[in-house]
């Protein structure tokens, strides 16, 4: 039962619960009109303590498409937050006005704290470099739809594997399904941390290899998940400039990729995918953004428990 639950960590929901959400999302995709009034009279609060326009618009659009309304702040300077109100007090107040809340916060664990003091479901929309569970839901739904399954896949993950939280969550989430294999492609400086290798990959007996060159492994992939190399992760500008171009996907590299491989990216991109790749049918990152909205629609319905009369 997902009604009344919070989503703080990508692993909060079981594989079965995720399956419920994905099935509902697929129903929404095929018959969006059937869902356009399910949230009539409901309000989603968007509490953005740091700006993230993309994530906020995805949530707002999801709620509006369900017939609900949206309120919130996305500039903490202009809100009571600037006057020093605590997360606990803010969520208690918002609980009086809204039916469900989305929170983005620069501090790790802030959404967890909000959920402890909240009477309404809380969704973590990113807490610092810590968790971003709806991105993981988006990735899984996209793979499920475009590849038809979440198991038996060879997944290449390329770019910043050291700091990229979406990468760590994706690894954890995909490790729960049978027979998935990972190819981890990154420069030495941005390799996957040892604790992820130990806690997730070795512990779960998951097949993985590490490689520094995308072109050497691209022909064996079912999925290529590209990530951006973030400037703020580097201690100095020189290192950033040296590394940022090392892992750029272009038409030349795509020639070596299997015909049915899909390219995903959490967006926004910097320059790690050349614009010439966008017209390749295997480039699925904009579809992925759209599935992100659908999976958020399904999530909102499940947490509010308003999907109950919808047939399975």
Partner 1 sequence: MLTINSIKKGIVIDHIKAGTGIKIFNYLALNKADFSVALIINASSSKMGKKDMIKIENAIDVDITALGLIDPNITINIIKDENIVEKIYPKLPEKVEDIITCKNPRCITSMENYIPHEFYLVDESKGEYRCRYCDEIYRLTEI
Residues making contact with partner 1 (CB under 8 A):
86-88, 105, 107-110, 112-113, 127-130
Is the separation of the CB atoms in 154 and 38 below 8 Å? no
Cβ closer to partner 1: 82 or 88? Answer: 88
Nearer to partner 1, 107 or 231 (CB): 107
Q: Which residues contact 93 (CB under 8 A, 6 or more apart)?
A: none
- Residue 132 annotated as binding? yes
Check whether 268 is labelled as a binding-site residue: yes
Q: How far is the CB of 163 from partner 1 (least distance, A)?
A: 12
Q: Measured from the CB of residue 99, what is the shortest distance to partner 1 in angstroms?
A: 24
Residue with smaller CB distance to partner 1, 32 or 106:
106
Between 11 and 57, CB nearer to partner 1: 11
83 assigned binding-site residue: yes
Length of the chain: 312
Contact 182, 225 (CB under 8 A): no
What is the distance between the alpha carbons of residues 3 and 305, in angstroms, rounded to a whole number?
5
| 202 in a labelled binding site | no
Residue 47: strand, helix, or coil:
strand
Residue with Cβ nearer partner 1 (107 or 255): 107
16 is in an annotated binding site: no
Q: What is the smallest separation between the CB atom of 109 and partner 1, expressed in angstroms?
A: 3
> Would the annotation count 55 as a binding residue?
yes
Q: Which residue has the tokens 């420069």?
A: 187
Question: With the CA atoms of 159, 164, 170 and 173 taken in that order, what torsion angle do they form, in degrees rounded to the nearest 10?
Answer: 150
CB of 108 to partner 1, least distance (A): 4
**Residue 270, exposed/middle/buried by CB under 10 A (0-12, 13-18, 19+)?**
exposed
For residues 154 and 157, give the distance between their C-alpha atoms in angstroms, rounded to a whole number: 10
Radius of gyration of the chain (CA): 20
Residues in binding site for carbamoyl phosphate: 54-55, 104, 132, 135, 267-268
Residues in binding site for L-aspartate: 83, 165, 228
């Amino acid at each position: 039962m997902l009604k009344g639950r919070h989503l703080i960590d990508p692993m909060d929901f079981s594989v079965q619960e995720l399956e419920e959400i994905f099935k509902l999302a697929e129903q929404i995709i095929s018959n969006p009109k059937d869902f356009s009034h399910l949230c009539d009279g409901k309000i989603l609060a968007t509490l953005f303590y740091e700006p993230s326009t993309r994530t906020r618009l995805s949530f707002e659009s999801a709620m509006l498409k369900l017939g609900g309304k949206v309120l919130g702040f996305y500039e903490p300077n202009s809100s009571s937050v600037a006057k020093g109100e605590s997360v606990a007090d803010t969520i208690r107040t918002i609980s009086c006005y809204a039916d469900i809340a989305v929170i983005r916060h620069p501090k790790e664990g802030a959404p967890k704290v909000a959920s402890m003091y909240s009477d309404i479901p809380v969704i973590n929309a990113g807490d610092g470099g810590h968790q971003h569970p709806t991105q993981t839901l988006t990735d899984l739904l996209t793979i499920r739809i475009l590849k038809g399954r979440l198991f038996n896949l060879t997944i290449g993950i390329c770019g910043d594997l050291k700091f990229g939280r979406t990468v760590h969550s994706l690894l954890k989430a995909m490790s729960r399904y049978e027979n998935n294999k990972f190819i981890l492609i990154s420069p030495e400086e941005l390799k996957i941390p040892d604790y992820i290798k130990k806690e997730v990959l070795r512990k779960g007996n998951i097949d993985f290899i590490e490689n520094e060159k995308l072109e050497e492994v691209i022909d064996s992939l079912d999925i290529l998940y590209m990530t951006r190399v973030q400037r703020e992760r580097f201690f100095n500008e020189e290192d950033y400039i040296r590394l940022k171009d090392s892992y750029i996907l272009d038409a030349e590299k795509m020639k070596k990729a299997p015909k049915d491989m899909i390219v995903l990216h959490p967006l926004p991109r910097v320059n790690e995918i050349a614009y010439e790749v966008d017209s390749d049918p295997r480039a699925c990152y904009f579809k992925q953004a759209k599935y992100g909205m659908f999976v958020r629609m399904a999530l909102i319905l499940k947490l509010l428990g308003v999907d109950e009369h919808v047939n399975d």
